[in-house]
Amino acid sequence: KLAMFLRCFSPLPKVVFEDILRSFILIIFDSCTEKGFRKHSLKNLVQIGSSIEKFGDPKRSISYTNIVVERSLPWPMHDSSIPLSVKLEVLCDIGTRKVDFAMRIVEGLKEILSSNLIEAL
């Protein structure tokens, strides 16, 4: 919950906020993580993204984009230990928080599909 405070009211320094985001991403994409724990971590990431959008915090939005949106694209697609349904749920939930997040996810999926098609041919 601390990660959802507005920047001006947040007791968390930027580095701690970013560590929280990284921790949730690692939990979500760890194939050994229990399903309920994974869903709880995803829910927290979505809530953080919503609060960033709601309160218009540009610095935290950049951190969220760089850590959550960008890292959630290529990494899980190449990991066969994580079900495709989990990967798509994560991308969908994160993408629905902000138009910029959705656009980046769509672009990233397009890049992944294009490279996979080229490799297949």
pLDDT per position as a tens digit, 16-27: 899 999 999 888
**Alpha carbon distance 35, 42 (integer Å):** 11
**Alpha carbon distance 49, 63 (integer Å):** 10
Selection from 25, 22, 28, 45 nearest residue 86 by Cα = 28
Predicted pLDDT at 20: 92
Phi-psi domain of 56 (left: phi exceeds 0; alpha: psi -120 through 50; beta: other): left
2 burial (CB, 10 Å; 0-12 / 13-18 / 19+) is exposed
pLDDT single digits (tens) 16-59: 899 999 999 888 888 677 888 888 988 999 888 888 888 878 88
**Alpha carbon distance 48, 3 (integer Å):** 7
pLDDT over 70 for what percent of the chain? 83
pTM listed for this prediction:
0.74
